[in-house]
Amino acid sequence: MKQHHHHDVLIIGSGAAGLTLALSLAETARVAVLSKSAINTGSTWYAQGGIAAVLDDQDTVDAHVADTLVAGAGLCHEDAVRFTVENSTSAIEWLIEQGVDFTRESNSDDYHLTQEGGHSHRRIIHSADATGKAVHSTLIDRVQAHPNLEIFENHVALNLITQADSGSRKVRASGAYALNRGNDHVSVFQAKVVVLATGGASKVYLYTSNPDSASGDGIAMAWRAGCRVANMEFNQFHPTCLYHPKAKSFLITEALRGEGAYLKLPNGERFMHRFDERGELAPRDVVARAIDYEIKRLGCDCVYLDISHKSEAFISEHFPTVKARCLEFGIDITQDPIPVVPAAHYTCGGVVVDRNGQTDLENLYAIGETSFTGLHGANRMASNSLLECIVYAQSAALHIKGKIDSVATPADSPKWDESRVTNSDEDVVISHNWDELRRFMWDYVGIVRTHKRLERATHRIKLLQKEIAEYYSNYKVSGDLIELRNLVTVAQLIIRSAMERKESRGLHYSLDHPNLSSIARNTILVPTNFAAQDIIVSAAPE
């Protein structure tokens, strides 16, 4: 079986960002797309709400920008916000051209727009309550049909390959090592340009709306390769995930609240008005903290989201996925309130990039949730994430097209060396450490933080890092080990970032520092092997 692959562009990740980039490069480059499992898995597929864009005559770019800046609590980069919003209309038009079937008004051909928390206008275009699936399935069909795009499913990236650029002392990305889950061998993927589109890292928490694939792979690989990361302390907890012992991680879309659903205590009393004048339409961080506060105050397991005052026809038309999923657990949302709890949902920080998605490392790009563009600030506004995926993927594609012909083909890198490792007979170590990590991150680095909790997390993460590094050095790699290694790296970055922020802002709330600082600063972490320095590194695996 072939274990050395050569392409012009290697895209690690197969969600909305990765596939948009692949399609945008398809006519000019040979592209490989790595998917760590089946291509139709990942966070994009499960996104329900929609995509925020300026599509209505009553809406404006300035209004969308202003709403995003408010939600971001002073940390959004206004130039990044404006760039994203100004390209929102064309991004939606491109998706429609690809064949995405967005929901239209029942009495016209106009697209139905809904409103979500933090938005001052109806600007969320959607496909019922399964927008991510509609977008992802359309892009998958287009990618699979193109001869220049090669998909490698069940391939888990381990490490980036870096080389000295010919003719200079700059370090460049030139590929990646990836575990083929089909045969348990590590393959070498070489490319002129490498793109990280691996999504976020919410699986670092015990309760999350994300699929198992959200293990921070791209962020961890970029950090190990010498790239800066920023604002990792801002982890968005979606306020409303279904609370049921068999539901695992099912998101109850924010569009329910946008269409008038009420949050209620177990006794049926509404409570959001006590926390914010916007009530149920307050930004996610406000709603998540309010729910967390009420659950802890009352000692109850959950609160309830109630849309049963709307007609059955309205609910069935707008929320068929939520209705069907809840019915599987005996909850009829047309009659009954939905039990909900907050859960880790989105990583607002990530790998530092410019407007083109370029990282600190030459020829390495990061797009989507893996990246830090400055769009989200201290709190991502609802439905801006898929928009960011499309806009920055297209921007990166233009930049790559302009340089790809001048990039030299990288030298072949050595095969992955397994000569000094053995098969493990103690995989229980992986499962135990995985569980311990996610539990203490939830308890100590969750919605509400303290200095003492962060110190405890720091102590535990050091011990876990040592254990996992030893395990990684002595045994053959597996998909679970790769993800655990990456999650521990990302957890350490989150903890370090949270320790550095001596205030409460957006998604970071500290009982020791409850006030907002007068100066808004990003938390930027710089690795010891910072890639922007002219360092020559080996192509051999770490």
- Annotated catalytic residues are 284
Distance CA 172, CA 364 (A): 7
Tokens 């297209």 correspond to 394
How many Cβ atoms sit within 10 Å of the Cβ of residue 467? 16
Assigned token pair, 131? 């927008």
Q: Name the phi and psi angles at 340, rounded to 5.
A: -135, 155
CB 135 within 8 A of CB 98: no
Q: Alpha carbon of 43 to those of 61, 117, 214, 301: distances in Å?
A: 27, 20, 7, 26
CB 189 within 8 A of CB 166: no
Distance CA 195, CA 198 (A): 9
Assigned token pair, 282? 């307050």
Q: Alpha carbon of 212 to those of 41, 205, 321, 434: distances in Å?
A: 9, 11, 20, 12
| C-alpha closest to that of 230 among 349, 348, 369 | 349
Tokens 């990361």 correspond to 229
Q: Name the phi and psi angles at 381, rounded to 5.
A: -80, 140
Tokens 């990530």 correspond to 350
Helices 385-403, 88-98: inter-axial angle, 10-degree rounding:
80
DSSP code at position 272: G
CA-based end-to-end distance of the chain: 24
Q: Is residue 350 classed exposed, middle or buried when 0-12, 13-18 and 19+ CB atoms within 10 A define those classes?
A: buried
Distance CA 364, CA 358 (A): 6
Assigned token pair, 34? 């790595």
C-alpha triplet 429, 186, 37: angle, nearest 5°: 75
Distance CA 166, CA 177 (A): 21
| C-alpha closest to that of 70 among 4, 120, 23, 136 | 120
CB 507 within 8 A of CB 346: no
CB 223 within 8 A of CB 265: no
Distance CA 7, CA 160 (A): 15
Q: Is residue 534 classed exposed, middle or buried when 0-12, 13-18 and 19+ CB atoms within 10 A define those classes?
A: exposed
Distance CA 173, CA 364 (A): 6
